[in-house]
Amino acid sequence: KVKGAIFDLDGVIVDTAKYHFLAWKWLADQWGFEFTETDNERLKGVSRIRSLEIVLEIGGIDISEEEKLQKAEQKNEKYLQYIHQMDRSEVLPGAEEYLLQLRRRGVRIALGSASKNAVFILEKVGLAELFDAVIDGTKVSKAKPDPEVFIAGCEALGLEPGECVVFEDAEAGVEAAIAAGIYVVGIGNPDILVAANRVVSGLNELV
Ligand code: G6P
Ligand code: MG
């Protein structure tokens, strides 16, 4: 029986993937190369600095480590401008209902996200109180597909991996959950999330 559920944030609970995309695209525009939605798939679930490195690789651009930190900071400032405007309407269909349903069934709930903006976003959309634990980019050092974030999620809930289920929209996240030994439900395209134990189009399919 499932006792704990660990949710990724971006693309599972809230529709922030589009804002990450717009902010990276804004940087790419400054460098003068095209950054597409297909390119953006590679950044899902990936940490901010690693995402920047992938963007630079796509543009064939080489900059110093110091400049990388500056650019990552600029991207985040742009992203923050977008997420400052967020409200409940950007919670994905079924997400709140499903969280409430799990809580009623006594399932403990954790967030397992690479984002350093996770708490801000959860508060902004009014879902923070539904989580028993939050493991985010400020708490882990190894990015998905490393299992660290999900192992920490199980520990924070006081549960074993075999008692939990992960919900993930990113390939790197699905891999991370599998590496942690946790059953994983992919959210999105079954052709992309082939490694998941099950794939649904959104949490609305589960309520
Ligand atoms: C999530 C998103 C990624 C993002 C990462 C870091 O995993 O899917 O696209 O790069 O979080 O987010 P942050 O808000 O810390 O830049
Ligand atoms: Mg995600």
User: ipTM higher than 0.90?
Assistant: yes
pTM confidence score: 0.94
- Give the whole-angstrom CA distance, residue 161 versus residue 154: 6
pLDDT at position 41 = 87
User: Which one is catalytic: 10, 15, 29, 191?
Assistant: 10
Enter the tokens of residue 180.
């942690």
Q: Which residues contact 165 (CB under 8 A, 6 or more apart)?
A: 2, 4, 5, 6, 182, 183, 184, 185
Q: What is the per-residue burial (b if ≥16 Cβ within 10 Å, else e) of 112-147?
A: bbbbebbbbbbebbebeebbbbbbbbebbeebbbbb
Q: Is 149 helix (H, G, I), strand (E, B) or coil?
A: helix
Closest ligand to 83 CA? 1
Which atom of ligand 1 is least distant from the CA of 137? 15
DSSP E strand boundaries for 3-150 = 4-7, 108-112, 133-135
Please, which pLDDT band fits residue 162 given cuts at 50, 70 and 90?
very high
Residue 104 among known ligand-binding residues: no
Distance 139 CA to ligand 1 centre (A): 13
- The closest alpha carbon to 24, from 41, 5, 7, 11, belongs to 41
Which atom of ligand 1 is least distant from the CA of 75? 16
Contact 183, 164 (CB under 8 A): yes
Distance 45 CA to ligand 1 centre (A): 6
Residue 1 among known ligand-binding residues: no
Q: Is 16 in the pocket of ligand 1 (CB under 6 A)?
A: no
Q: What is the per-residue burial (b if ≥16 Cβ within 10 Å, else e) of 81-99?
A: eebeebeeebbbebbbebb
Report CA torsion sign: 136, 177, 189, 24: positive
Contact 123, 155 (CB under 8 A): no
Is a pLDDT exceeding 90 seen at residue 29? yes
Mean pLDDT over the full length of the chain: 96
Residue 193 among known ligand-binding residues: no
pLDDT in tens, 182-202: 999 999 999 999 999 999 999
Q: Is 115 in the pocket of ligand 1 (CB under 6 A)?
A: yes
pLDDT in tens, 47-67: 999 999 999 999 999 999 999
Distance 102 CA to ligand 1 centre (A): 25
Q: Is 197 in the pocket of ligand 1 (CB under 6 A)?
A: no
Q: Can 15 be counted among the known catalytic residues? A: no
Is a pLDDT exceeding 90 seen at residue 1? no
Angle (nearest 5°) at CA 24 between 136 and 81 = 70
